Amino acid sequence: MDGTHDIADEQRRLWNGASGHAWVEMQDLLDELYKPIRDLLVAAVSAKPRTHVLDVGCGTGSTTLAVARWLGATGRSTGVDISQPMIAAARARAEREGAAASFICANAQIYPFDPERVDMIISRFGVMFFADPVQAFANLRRAATDAAELECIAWRSAEENPFMTTAERAAAAILPNLPARRPNVPGQFSFANGPRVVAILEDSGWAEIALQPIEVECTMPERELVRYLTRLGPVGLALQEADEETRARVIDTIRPAFDRYVHGKDVRFPAACWLVRARAGRPRTP
């Protein structure tokens, strides 16, 4: 088995295991936290008439459902994600809302989408985890019409997003085996390198590629901060298997490290992201 398959298997285990279940559990908090980013994508969809929008790495379906509400009966909103627990949650939400949204549980890198059906592809933090991003975006290009647009939001670097790494830095002495952040490896910051992202899209058949650095203020209630820190990210994953004494030590250590983000009853931080735009170019030859 080559490295690409190993990475794909690792991502499948991660998002169908502890991480996927944690995102389902934290669905309401995360949807509110990233609502400004969701709204940017919905605004892009609403800029012109659409017939079929594909949401890549849709998670529990917040953006897919928001797009479905905007499209109404005039179009289709489809979400795709590798995580069975998150897709199950998304389908349940759609059923409760009576929303005209559909969901596919699959790896968008290799899933056989109907060709030339989608006229817009969007993603909120869902495109950084592909084992082979060129293959993935080429597969998405085949699903797109010749006039299709791509609009994705992805994290810039860890250095530009200190909120996201504060917990692991603060807990390093107590949890020495936390995984290191590696550049250009599938994960939260794999799209940090702008020229690399452009090259990926060019090599996969996309054109008119533009990367715009944006900073979006994200907010959560201060009362939810400890729950957020102990369920998500590398520290959250480690704490799921930690004993109570270690868990208490970690919480006592990391919580003060976030004081600079606390403003009264709210926690606020800037999300430093890339707004990635492209148009369908000449399809890449398989």
Structural domains in the chain, CATH included, are 3-159+186-219+272-280 (3.40.50.150)
Quick one: which of 152, 140, 151, 149 has its CA closest to 283? 140
Please report, in tens digits, the pLDDT of each residue of the chain (286 residues total): 355 667 778 888 889 998 999 999 999 999 999 999 999 999 999 999 999 999 999 999 999 999 999 999 889 999 999 999 999 999 999 999 999 999 999 999 999 999 999 999 999 999 999 999 999 999 999 999 999 999 999 999 999 999 999 999 999 999 999 988 888 899 999 999 999 999 999 999 999 999 999 999 999 999 999 999 999 999 999 998 899 999 999 999 999 999 999 999 999 999 999 999 999 977 655 5
Quick one: which of 222, 230, 261 has its CA closest to 248? 230
pLDDT of residue 10: 82
pLDDT of residue 244: 95
pLDDT of residue 32: 96
pLDDT of residue 1: 38
pLDDT of residue 4: 66
pLDDT of residue 162: 97
